[in-house]
Structure 1
Amino acid sequence: MKFYEIDTALSEAIERGDNPVRVRISLDWSGHGYYETVFERDIIEASFFGLQETAGGTTARGDILLDNTYGHYACGGNTGRGAGREVRISFSIGDGLPYFERFVLYVDDTGFQDIRGPGRKRMLRMVLRDLSAKLGKTDESRDWTAPVMFTYVVICDKTQPERSLVHLIAGRAGIESGDIDCATIPITLPYVQLTKNTWAELSELAKTYRAHLECAPEKPLVFAHSVYQREPEDIDGISYTFSGEDIFYLRETARAEQYRNTIRLKINIPVALERQEIWRYEDSPIMYDADLMPVYPFRSTAMRDIQKQGYEARYHIRDSKGAERAVLYADQIDTIEEATDRLDYEGGPFAYSAYDITTHHDRAIITLETETDGDLYGAALYGRPIVLELNRSCFLHDTGGVERYGTAALNVTGSYFSEDTVDSGVSHYQDWTIRELTERLRERREFTVKTHRGLFHARVGAKAEIITNEGTVKGTINAVSLRYKRDAAFVAAFKIIEE
């Protein structure tokens, strides 16, 4: 993963470093889609931040302070006082060069903050967040009684958005397929149930599949750069090399808290099984014939529950040990004709007067009727079930690390791990554990680098290297800070995690 691509003239101007960085702020002031550009002389300061969240996604935010001495930026007349307005941030170098749009942000719930000081001093402050903040609020209007469920989906595939989990989750927040830039991750999940907001679900998915998730300027949503994707990735591509000519501040810190020598992954994983019996009638009272086979007598003197409307035939299977396991989801279920053919009885006849297998995916709503007294020997339904396998685990440790430092364990769980085999030849959840242990065993350092170079096209997740008298260090950018001040030099700061 590399920096954003910018115009060649801009890139050359950044390398020369002899012209000041310029900022352009365009604001949907009225909320009607008409963007007005703020006077550059009125920008007192503007700070923008990008960071990698622990949950898995990458977010951006900003803080802008404008000189409003003459009241150009009136707040009171704006409905809602500006909360939610879109703000587009662009950068350039010197005069005559094109601008590069770097951020698309939104005014947070504090709206346009009108600040007044001594005399005629008046300023306007805007605190900005990217689209992830909106996606994080999608659960506020969600119907908690109707959880969203998907089956037999792949993680990401832009050619089949109807089967792509990334597209299906994003679609819950109104993000269309054309608004998503993504890689192809063909790993299949048989069953997914959403329980959190859109951004939280996408973040967990990105963390599980080691993908880069971002609300980027080129697309509302980016989900790419995964180790499990089909598309080739330039793993060693360095976007920028920091040297003594660039750096005016360099700090090195240890990241000992990231060290782990034991990974304990324990998950409940949905498993798809072959088509089989998923329900059998076993309600009491039960009698037994001469061969000790169960018989269910139906007599007019006592109506059974299955003869009443609304009877629930809950799906379940029995595993190889004879234990009963509930079915989360079933499809390819018997038609009413097939189910009727499975009825085994004497007397009767027996027939289904109600047969609903579409309203619910874990049970059928049926009614069994008989015209005269009879004995039922068997009633069953067949289908293709998905069951939850509890406590699937993968525990790995480094013997040498444990002997030297004792057990430093990381306990992991999650909803999106798969048992599909990946390129390494093992299942995805095992491969993920191996990779996590390998990364955690490294004794890493974090470098904070500050420069006056106009590296406004830098992005979190990109590769960079630092050259000092002690040698060269390669790493991944974990956080970006861009600070513009009207009366001071531009400052770009980076946190780089050593590889």
Structure 2
Amino acid sequence: MRFYTVDDSLKEAIDKGMAAVRVRVSLDFAGNGVFETVSERDIIEASFFGLKETAGGTTARGELLLDNTSGNYAYSGNGAGREVRVSFSLGEGLPWFQRFVLYVDHKGFQDIRGPGRRRLVRLALGDRSVFLRRSDESRDWTQHEVFTYSVVCDKTQPEKSLVHLIAKRAGIEAADIDCATIPIALPYVKLTKNIWAELSELATAYRCHLECPVEKPLVFAHSPYQAEPDTADDGNPEGSASYIFSGRDIFYLRKTARAERYRNTVRLKINMPVVLEKQEIWRYTDPPVLYDDGMTDFYPFRLINLRSIVLGEYEAKYRVRDEKGNERAVLYADNIDTVEEATERLMFDGCSFAYSHYDVTTRHDRAYITIEVEKRKEGDLVIASIHGRSIVLDLNRSCFLRDSNAVDLQGTCALNVTGSYFSEDVVNGRPQYEDWAARELADRLQERREFTVKTHRALFHGRVGATVQIKANGETVQGTVNAFSLRYKRDAAFVAAFRIMEE
């Protein structure tokens, strides 16, 4: 990834570093979609932050302090959730660059009254990920959304793309998503967390950049598993430095060892959903059961002992048997026998048996059935079964990788990982979950340093995930931005700070 592209005149002014940074803030004060621009002289402080979360996503936050001595910002209502647009420029006569779309947090417009006539308005801001985190607040906790036979991401088929299906639950449509194509199949996914947590976990499993930036409500891109080449927008190769920090830029530089990231062993353990061929997924086995001379089981149906399957609404829970004869619960079944096909599978003696109720659509892990026995007669049911294509869990699928030389030198330092979105699709000649573990191990084996750089340069177009270089004290280091802060004060110099992880 690279820094955002800015106008050539802005870029030239940034390189010269002679003009003062300006901030423009536009707010939808009334919540009616009409934006009003705050007077620049009323902006006392404006701070903005971005960071890569441990869970996998990238988020932005902000805080504004406005001078309200004249009472211009005395608006009714608390203002929570109102949209705020933030732009930057330099000096006079240069274009504005819109950098953030943020939203007022739950505290709303904080009206502060100090000594004398001093009045301030403080706004705490967050990006769209704040709303995605709260998406479970109105969720029906009795039902979990299930998606089957999907791929990770495909903008040409949003109805089968997990990124699009998950985002749609938060009202984000396909046109609002900037994404890469990751055609790796996931047969079964059950959502149990909020939307942002689910997307973050998906981004972690496919090493993707997940963000709610200014250009689109959602970005899911820059993955090593994507089908299209990962190119930079400005024509420079992806991975080349967006900016080179040198001694003339930096007024503060700190180097920190990140030894806690080091691992020489990766233990990945997951419950892997797998698809089975169409086979028997239910057979009637309720007692009492009798056996004939050939030890074939059968089930007598007598008037004095009415069975639950005759009384109605019987739950036929789907099960399959593996090659060792062990029963495994079915998570999801489709291509299930029709009532005619299931009737053909019935075997009985004496009176006739038939399905009077046959429901395989209400639930995907069981059928609701009723068997009707010929009136005023008695008989024996030999076989009643249903066949279908099923998805079951392969419990505790594991991948254990280690670097023997590193273990010999430093002892075992293990990373234990689990997750819901890994796949057994083959990537680079091995299952995706094994490929992920190999990439993670290679990354964790590097003993990396973290650099904190502060500059007065107007690098408001910097972003998390971008590649930069640091040239200082005769050393050149290339790294990736993991966090940034932009601090504007009306009566002080602009400060941009970046936390950079060495590559």
TM-score, normalised to structure 2, is: 0.97
Work out which of the residue numbers 94, 98, 103 in structure 2 matches 1:97: 94
**Distance of 2:70 and 2:57 partners within structure 1:** 41
**Distance of 2:353 and 2:117 partners within structure 1:** 90
SS at 1:136 equivalent: helix
Give 1:227 deviation, angstroms: 0.9
Give 1:98 deviation, angstroms: 1.1
Give the aligned partner of residue 255 of structure 1: 258
Letter paired with 1:156: C
**Distance of 1:257 and 1:30 partners within structure 2:** 47
- Alignment of 1:200 with 2:204, yes or no, is no
- Alignment of 1:396 with 2:408, yes or no, is no
- Alignment of 1:412 with 2:417, yes or no, is yes
Work out which of the residue numbers 209, 227, 252 in structure 1 matches 2:224: 227
Give 1:144 deviation, angstroms: 0.6
Give the aligned partner of residue 309 of structure 1: 312
- Alignment of 1:352 with 2:350, yes or no, is no
Work out which of the residue numbers 279, 282, 293 in structure 2 matches 1:279: 282
Letter paired with 1:480: F
Question: Could you list the runs of 5+ residues in structure 2 that have no partner in the other structure?
Answer: 232-237
Give the aligned partner of residue 431 of structure 1: 435
**Distance of 1:98 and 1:177 partners within structure 2:** 31
Counting matched residue pairs gives: 495
Greater mean deviation of Cα atoms: 390-399 or 114-123: 114-123
Letter paired with 2:57: G
Give 1:73 deviation, angstroms: 1.0
After superposition, the C-alpha distances for 1:1-49 in whole angstroms (9 at most, x for unaligned) are 1111221211111111111111000000111111000000111110000
- Alignment of 1:342 with 2:339, yes or no, is no
**Distance of 1:56 and 1:469 partners within structure 2:** 33
**Distance of 2:424 and 2:277 partners within structure 1:** 16
Greater mean deviation of Cα atoms: 369-378 or 428-437: 369-378
Give 1:357 deviation, angstroms: 0.2
Give the aligned partner of residue 61 of structure 2: 61
**Distance of 1:150 and 1:239 partners within structure 2:** 39
**Distance of 1:329 and 1:305 partners within structure 2:** 24
Aligned 1:36-185 pairs, distance under 5 A: 36-74=36-74, 77-79=75-77, 81-185=78-182
Work out which of the residue numbers 453, 456, 472 in structure 2 matches 1:452: 456
SS at 2:41 equivalent: helix
Question: Could you list the runs of 5+ residues in structure 1 that have no partner in the other structure?
Answer: none
SS at 2:433 equivalent: helix
After superposition, the C-alpha distances for 1:116-148 in whole angstroms (9 at most, x for unaligned) are 222211111111011111110111110010111
SS at 1:392 equivalent: strand
Greater mean deviation of Cα atoms: 353-362 or 398-407: 398-407
Letter paired with 2:457: R
Letter paired with 1:84: G
**Distance of 1:470 and 1:92 partners within structure 2:** 33
**Distance of 1:112 and 1:145 partners within structure 2:** 36
Give 1:89 deviation, angstroms: 0.3
Give the aligned partner of residue 266 of structure 1: 269
Work out which of the residue numbers 325, 328, 344 in structure 1 matches 2:328: 325
Give 1:243 deviation, angstroms: 1.0
**Distance of 1:209 and 1:78 partners within structure 2:** 45
Give 1:236 deviation, angstroms: 2.3
Give 1:159 deviation, angstroms: 0.7
- Alignment of 1:188 with 2:185, yes or no, is yes
**Distance of 1:132 and 1:213 partners within structure 2:** 10
SS at 1:447 equivalent: strand
**Distance of 2:285 and 2:477 partners within structure 1:** 68
After superposition, the C-alpha distances for 1:333-365 in whole angstroms (9 at most, x for unaligned) are 000000000111122211100000000000000
**Distance of 2:330 and 2:110 partners within structure 1:** 54
After superposition, the C-alpha distances for 1:446-497 in whole angstroms (9 at most, x for unaligned) are 0011111111111100111111233210110000110111111111110000
**Distance of 2:266 and 2:489 partners within structure 1:** 46
Letter paired with 1:126: L
After superposition, the C-alpha distances for 1:188-215 in whole angstroms (9 at most, x for unaligned) are 1111100000111111111111000000
SS at 1:206 equivalent: helix
Give the aligned partner of residue 235 of structure 2: none
- Alignment of 1:383 with 2:381, yes or no, is no
After superposition, the C-alpha distances for 1:35-80 in whole angstroms (9 at most, x for unaligned) are 0000001111100000000010000000111111111111xx422x
Work out which of the residue numbers 267, 290, 294 in structure 1 matches 2:293: 290
**Distance of 1:20 and 1:150 partners within structure 2:** 52
Q: What is the alpha-carbon root mean square deviation over aligned residues?
A: 0.9
Greater mean deviation of Cα atoms: 401-410 or 31-40: 401-410
After superposition, the C-alpha distances for 1:388-433 in whole angstroms (9 at most, x for unaligned) are 11111011111121112111111111111111111x1110110110
Letter paired with 1:44: I
SS at 2:158 equivalent: coil
Give the aligned partner of residue 243 of structure 1: 246
Give the aligned partner of residue 208 of structure 2: 211
SS at 2:227 equivalent: coil
SS at 1:203 equivalent: helix
Letter paired with 1:421: V
Give the aligned partner of residue 234 of structure 2: none
Give 1:237 deviation, angstroms: 2.4
After superposition, the C-alpha distances for 1:139-182 in whole angstroms (9 at most, x for unaligned) are 11100101111101111111111111111111111111111111
SS at 1:189 equivalent: strand
Give 1:284 deviation, angstroms: 1.1
Give the aligned partner of residue 2 of structure 1: 2
